[in-house]
Structure 1
Amino acid sequence: MGMYDLSGKVAVVTGGTSGIGLATVELLLEAGAAVAICGRDPDRLASAETDLRRRFPRAKLFAQRCDVLDAAQVQAFADASREALGEAGMLVCNAGQGRVSTFADTSDEAWQEELGLKFFSIIYPIRAFLPQLESQPDAAIACANSLLASQPEPHMVATSAARAGVKSLVRSMATEFAPKGIRVNGILIGLVESGQWRRRFEAREERDLDWTQWTAQLAVKKQIPLARLGLPLEAARALFFLVSPLSAYTTGSHIDVSGGLSRHV
C-alpha cells in the first residue's frame, strides 16, 4: 500500500452521503482510514451508512445528521466524531450545488443564500475541526469547488461569484494554516454525473435517448473536449490525493477535473 495506507488516520467528509462525497468516503475506507460522515437528509444518511457498513464490515465509520450551515450542529458533529474515532487529520468539505440564475433574475435573498451556503459550508466545518487538525501530523483540508470559480458562466452568476470567493478563501487559509502544518487545497469540477443531472435527464424531452447518449449530447453542447461527463469517482480521486500525504508538498492549489472544459493555460 505504501503512501496509500491511511490506517490509523481519521478523515471527515461533509456531504458524504451521495455523489462525489460518498465516492471519496469509499476511497478513504479502502485505504484503511477511519471516516466520519455527515449529511442533512436522515434517510439518505442512514442508507449510505448501511451500504458502507455492508461493503466495509471492518471499517471504522461514524455517521451523524448535520446541517453544515448550522454552527452548533457542526461543532456537535466535530465533538461526536472525535469521541467516536479520535482526532481528525483530514477534512473534505463537499456540500452545496449550483444555482441557475442571471444577474437580472437573482433576488437579494437568492444572493444571500448562495453566498452564505458556499462560504459557511466551508467556514463552519474548518472552524470546528481546526483544533483536531492542528494536533495531527500531515493534516490536510480539501474543498470541492467548481470550474466556475475561474471560468464564470453568465447563467450561473451567483454561484460563479461564490465559487470564486471560495477559491480565494482556500488560498488564504493555505497561507495562514501552513505554520500549523495544515495544507489546504481544492478541486475545480466541470460537469460531473450527479443527482442534479439525473433529475434533468428524467425530465428530458428527447425520450429516445438513454443516459449515455443524453450525457454525450450534453458534453458536445457544452464543448467538453473529453466528450463525456465526469464520474464522481474521478473527482473523488483528486480529493483523496489532496487530503492524503500523497500531496505532502502541495498547498493553496486547485486540481482541474473538468474534462478539458477549462480554456485557461
Structure 2
Amino acid sequence: MQTVVITGGTSGIGLSTADLFLKNGWNVMIIGRDEQEGIEIEKQLGQKYSPAQIKFAQADISKAKDVEKAKQITLDAFKTVDVLVNNAGIVIHGELHETSEEDWDKIFAVDVKGTFLVSKAFLPAMIKQDHGSIVNISSVSGLAGDRAMVAYNAAKGAIINMTRAMAIDYGKNNIRVNVVAPGPTNTPLFHQDKQKFAKNSPLNRIVEPEEVAAAIYFVASSAGSAITGEAIPVTADFEISTGQPM
C-alpha cells in the first residue's frame, strides 16, 4: 500500500486531499499544528475508512525539530513515503508599507520555509527508494499579482520557482515535483465575497476543495508520470480575464 504525507491536512484542501487518497486505498499521514483537531480528524477518517490507514502527527512545520519528529512518526507507522503534499500555508493581507516585518517573516516561515523543511526531511527516503512525487501547493496569487497581498504573492511565487529547481535536481532520482495553484477556493481560509470573485470566472463560481484535491491526486499519482516541474492552475479560469467591466 502506498503512503502520502499531507501537511495542513485537517481542513479545506488538505482534508479533501486526505479523503481522496484514502478512498483510493492509500495510507495517509496528516501533519498539522492543532493536536486536538488532528486527533479528531484521524478518528473521523479512521471510522470512515480504516484506522490502520490514517495517522496524525502534530508539528509546526516552520520548526525543523517538529518536522523531524513528524517524519519519524511517519516512517515508523508506514515505512515508506511515496507522495508528499506540501499544503500547509497562511494568508496575510496588506500593501507593502502596511506589512509588518513580523507578518512578512511569519508567512515565509510557514509557506516557504515549511515547504523547504518538510521536503528536506522526506526527500532522503524517496531518494533511497528511487521514486517519489512531491506536490507543492501555491496559488493563482503565485502566478500573478493581487491588490494588498504582497507578502502572500511573494511567498506563493517563491514556492513555484522552488518547485522548478527541485524538479531539475531530483529527476535523476525518479522523483517528480509539481505545483498545484488553486484560485479562490471555498475553504475556511477564504473570507471574501464569493459572488464578487465568481464574476471573474467564465464558470461564474469559485473552486471547491474537492476539485483541487482531484488535481493533486492526478499529478501525484502514476497518471501524471510524465509531468514534473509544472504549475497547474485549478482556478475556474479565474485568472484569464483582463479585468474589463462587462
Q: TM-score with structure 1 length normalisation?
A: 0.87
Task: Determine the structure 2 residue equivalent to 1:155.
Answer: 148
* Aligned mates of 2:51, 2:95 — CA distance in 1: 48
Task: Determine the structure 2 residue equivalent to 1:65.
Answer: 58
* Aligned mates of 1:34, 1:248 — CA distance in 2: 20
Pick from 138, 161, 167 the counterpart of residue 168 of structure 1.
Answer: 161
Distance 1:102 1:25, change over 3 A: same
The letter for the 1-side match of 2:226 is: Y
1:19, 1:195 within 8 Å by CA — same for their partners in 2?
A: yes
1:42, 1:65 within 8 Å by CA — same for their partners in 2?
A: yes
1:142, 1:185 within 8 Å by CA — same for their partners in 2?
A: yes
Runs of 4+ in 1 over 6 A off after TM superposition: none
- C-alpha offsets along residues 91-135 of structure 1, whole Å, 9 cap, x if unaligned? 000011221110120122222222222211100110110111123
SS of the residue 1:69 aligns to: coil
Residues 175-194 of structure 1 mapped to structure 2, 5 A cutoff: 175-194=168-187
1:29, 1:59 within 8 Å by CA — same for their partners in 2?
A: no
- C-alpha offsets along residues 185-215 of structure 1, whole Å, 9 cap, x if unaligned? 0111110011123xx37xxxxxxxxxxxx63
1:144, 1:187 within 8 Å by CA — same for their partners in 2?
A: yes
The aligned length equals 242
> Given the alignment of the two structures, is residue 232 of structure 1 paired with residue 209 of structure 2, yes or no?
yes
SS of the residue 2:138 aligns to: strand
* Aligned mates of 1:137, 1:55 — CA distance in 2: 32
Percent identical among aligned pairs is: 29
2:87, 2:137 within 8 Å by CA — same for their partners in 1?
A: yes
Deviation at 1:59, TM superposition (A): 4.8
Task: Determine the structure 2 residue equivalent to 1:204.
Answer: none
For structure 1, which runs of at least 5 residues remain unmatched after alignment? 1-7, 202-213
SS of the residue 2:233 aligns to: strand
Deviation at 1:47, TM superposition (A): 1.5
Give the superposed CA RMSD.
1.7
* Aligned mates of 1:84, 1:58 — CA distance in 2: 12
SS of the residue 1:195 aligns to: coil
2:9, 2:30 within 8 Å by CA — same for their partners in 1?
A: yes
1:87, 1:135 within 8 Å by CA — same for their partners in 2?
A: no
Task: Determine the structure 2 residue equivalent to 1:243.
Answer: 220
Deviation at 1:147, TM superposition (A): 0.7
Task: Determine the structure 2 residue equivalent to 1:78.
Answer: 71
- C-alpha offsets along residues 36-66 of structure 1, whole Å, 9 cap, x if unaligned? 1111011210111111011003652221111
1:91, 1:142 within 8 Å by CA — same for their partners in 2?
A: yes
Task: Determine the structure 1 residue equivalent to 2:195.
Answer: 216
